[in-house]
Amino acid sequence: MPALEVHDSIVELDARARLRRYLPRERLRAVQTPQAFRRDILEAAFGRSRRSHYTDDASLVRRLGHPVAVVEGEPQNEKLTTPEQLRAALRRLDRAT
C-alpha cells in the first residue's frame, strides 16, 4: 500500500477528548489509495468482513493474516474524503484549465 510521511504533529485523545499523548511521527505514515492486492486475497478479505465500515482494503487483508507491504506514496495523489476537499480540488482543476 502506498503511504506518505506524516509532517503534522499527531495526538491521541482520551474518551473525553483530552490530550492523552503525542504519537511519534517518524513511525507514522498516511496511507493512500488505491491499494493493490491479489484478487483472490482481496475477495476473501471482503467476503469475511463482518464490518460494513473499514478504513481501507489493507486493513481487511491484514485481518486475514496476510502481510501488507508499504511503499512510498505520491504526494500528488490527493485523498478526497469530505465535500470540502472535493470542492477545493475542483477549484484547483478549474484554475488549471
Contact between 11 and 81 under an 8 Å Cβ cutoff? The reply is no
**What confidence tens digit (pLDDT) does each residue in 38-65 have?**
999 999 999 887 766 788 899 999 989 9
Where does the pLDDT of residue 80 fall: very low under 50, low under 70, confident under 90, or very high at 90 and above? confident
Where does the pLDDT of residue 29 fall: very low under 50, low under 70, confident under 90, or very high at 90 and above? very high
User: What is the reported pTM?
Assistant: 0.75
Contact between 73 and 4 under an 8 Å Cβ cutoff? The reply is yes
CATH code: domain of residue 81:
3.90.550.10
Q: What's the confidence (pLDDT) of residue 25? A: 94
The domain tally of the chain equals: 1
57: containing domain: 2-96
β partners of residue 3:
31, 72
